[in-house]
Amino acid sequence: MSRILIRNARLIDPDSGLDSTGDIAIADGRIVALGEVSDFTPVQTIEADGQWAIPGLIDLAARTREPGATRKADIASEARAAASAGITTLVVPPDTQPVMDSPSVVELVHHRAEAAGAARVVALGALTTGLAGEQLPGMAGLAAAGCPGLSDGGYPVADSLVLRRALEYASTFALPCLLTPVDTALAQGCLNEGPTATRLGLAGVPAAAETAGLGRQMAIASATQARVHFGRLSSVEGVRLMTAALGEGRKLSADVAVHQLFLTDQDAMEFDPRFHLQPPLRDIIDREALRQAVSDGVIRIICSDHQPHDQDAKDGPFASTEPGASGIDTLLALVLRLVEEEVLSLHKALAAVTIEPAKLLGLESGRLAEGAPADITLVNPNAPWFCTNESLQSRGKNSPFLGWEFSARATHTLIAGRLVHQPTQ
């Protein structure tokens, strides 16, 4: 295993609060020294003057579409795209085909990711067999196969008794459960229910679709000892429920898709299917509440909610296209833009994509520390670039940020001490 020295970078670690110029010595896949490094003979040295060294990003919700929909994307393509965008771990929900409800599917995903040799891929096991909401999968077996947690994969468990038992059984093995706070019956639409949807003649999704789902799941979670996390909050009402629950000392957490912090239903005014998302884009009041919630720590994790699509899936009238946005290419740039827009401090912004998801899932990575896995991203904070069809490394070209200009980009990505992305000479 190669020995790498990163020299003279601005070392930023949200876990320890570190922010100073120094070196990082890497050997055998791990960080062996940090700060003032002496007595280290590297095989390769990366001069990083003016660059930031941050923990590699952990994206809590990213679909690779494999197995099942490899016409859209695959593990190798998305793992490479992630690495080139500074993401070192993709956490993939179990909504593959077949569903990740047995060790064999999980092992397949992990093997394909290893073969790709880019970003790590961490599979979340299915909370119920086939995500059908009826039977429990062998959760201990899923954990043994490498699942650090379980998820409903966007299909909320409708039967409250089954949900309760799934959470109880998962808590037996200390597996965190990532739930989708949606009442599916109320969520039949494609844009926030409000003036914009009405003007466009599109079916609206009320905030109640989120609060009804969230409230029910919170109530059931309180009857168990499970560690419950809510994925993709989208509304001011959802934020209020979450704030109240945290105020009562409940051990819950939530995340938001990064696009919800930048876009609103107004962006869909031209019926562009790239803005057909689930949960849908909402009002500017919701967007501001979500930004405030991240700033206040009510929402601690930001993810891309990456959903790459083939062109056919997004080719049609707005409402009949498939929801979802391609997001891994822009996650880092958008998170740093929140810092530029003074929504978040640099440490808080980075924590939301590194140490916070790591803590939720009990991952070793997400930090710059001696002994930690050498999952490191070097960022050039002054390297302006335009997001275009050509710049997107993901096979999914359905980014809602095409045409946006960003100031920061990942120049080098190291995963387990291996340089998997670097500038092309």
Q: Which residues are part of the catalytic machinery?
A: 305
When the beta carbons of 45 and 135 are compared against another protein, the nearer one is 135
- By the rule CB under 8 A, 288 interacts with another protein: no
User: Which of 24, 162, 220, 303 lies at the binding interface for another protein (CB under 8 A)?
Assistant: 162
Contact 177, 168 (CB under 8 A): no
135 binds another protein (CB under 8 A): yes
Considering only residues 3, 7, 112, 165, which one is a binding residue for another protein as defined by CB under 8 A? 165
Q: Closest approach of Cβ 231 to another protein, in Å? A: 22
Is the Cβ of residue 68 or residue 138 nearer to another protein in the bound state?
A: 138
Rg (the chain; Cα; Å): 21
Q: Is 160 in the site for another protein (CB under 8 A)?
A: no
Among 85, 119, 139, 415, binds another protein (CB under 8 A): 139
Q: Which of 67, 68, 130, 138 binds another protein (CB under 8 A)?
A: 138
- Cα–Cα distance, 210 to 191 (Å, whole number): 13
Q: How far apart are CA 37 and CA 156, in angstroms?
A: 49
Instruction: State phi, psi for 178 to the nearest 5 degrees.
Output: -100, 115
Burial bucket for residue 317 (CB in 10 Å: 0-12, 13-18, 19+): exposed
Shortest distance in whole angstroms from residue 242 CB to another protein: 25
Nearer to another protein, 136 or 246 (CB): 136
Q: Measured from the CB of residue 364, what is the shortest distance to another protein in angstroms?
A: 22
Q: How far apart are CA 31 and CA 33, in angstroms?
A: 6
124 is a contact residue toward another protein (CB under 8 A): no
Strand partners, 35: 23
Residue of 39, 161, 248, 390 interacting with another protein (CB under 8 A): 161
Q: Is 172 in the site for another protein (CB under 8 A)?
A: yes
Instruction: Give the C-alpha separation, 424 to 414, whole Å.
Output: 15
Binding flag, residue 251, another protein (CB under 8 A): no
Q: Are 310 and 322 in contact (CB under 8 A)?
A: no
Region from 66-74, 107-115, 156-164, 276-284 binding another protein, contact rule CB under 8 A: 156-164
Residue pair 106/123 in contact by the 8 Å Cβ criterion: yes
Among 136, 186, 339, 369, binds another protein (CB under 8 A): 136
Assess 169 for contact with another protein (CB under 8 A). Answer: yes
Helix H segments across 94-138?
103-116
DSSP symbols for 209-264: HHHHHHHHHHHHHHTS---EEE-----HHHHHHHHHHHHTT--EEEEEEGGGGT--
For residues 229 and 421, which CB has a smaller minimum distance to another protein in the complex? Answer: 229
Work out which of 111, 114, 173, 244 binds another protein, going by CB under 8 A: 173
Judged by CB under 8 A, which of 1, 43, 140, 203 binds another protein? 140
Q: How many residues bind another protein (CB under 8 A)?
A: 23
Residues 208-227 that bind another protein (CB under 8 A): 223-225
Q: Does 362 bind another protein (CB under 8 A)?
A: no
The interface region with another protein, picked from 43-51, 129-137, 294-302, 339-347 by CB under 8 A, is 129-137
Instruction: Yes or no: say if 421 and 351 are a contact pair by the CB < 8 Å rule.
Output: no
Does 168 contact another protein by CB under 8 A? yes
Residue type (1 letter), 37: V
As a whole number of angstroms, the distance between CA 348 and CA 352 comes to: 6
Strands 405-406 and 385-386, by their bridges, are antiparallel
b/e burial code for range 181-194 (CB count within 10 A of at least 16 → b): bbbeebbebbbbbb
- Contact residues for another protein (CB under 8 A)? 128-129, 134-141, 159, 161-162, 165-166, 168-169, 171-173, 223-225
